[in-house]
Amino acid sequence: MEKQINFQKEVWEGWTAADFIAELDPLLSIIMSGKGVIPPIKTKQELKKWCKENQPYYKKEIPEVVEYFSQKYNIKN
């Protein structure tokens, strides 16, 4: 069963989880299609690290963002 994601949760100075997802989605889509400069992400640990490094302004893990992308790309472990 997939976890519910609170997209409207404010994470940082008015930015919501949905805002961070919108910022990361285009780049991650390229990576996951195999057309990026790095290989597709295979584990949740790699996904957490990539999200933290590529989020604008806020460099801590956002569980809602990681959960959204892990569900979207079927990353289980």
DSSP 23-44: HHHHHHHHHHTT-SSSPPP-SH
What is the pLDDT, as a whole number, of residue 2?
Answer: 73
What is the pLDDT, as a whole number, of residue 1?
Answer: 64
What is the pLDDT, as a whole number, of residue 39?
Answer: 97
Residue 68, pLDDT > 90, answer: yes
pLDDT digits (tens, 9 = 90+) for 12-63: 999 999 999 999 999 999 999 999 999 999 999 999 999 999 999 999 999 9
- Give the integer Cα–Cα distance in Å for 52 and 3: 20
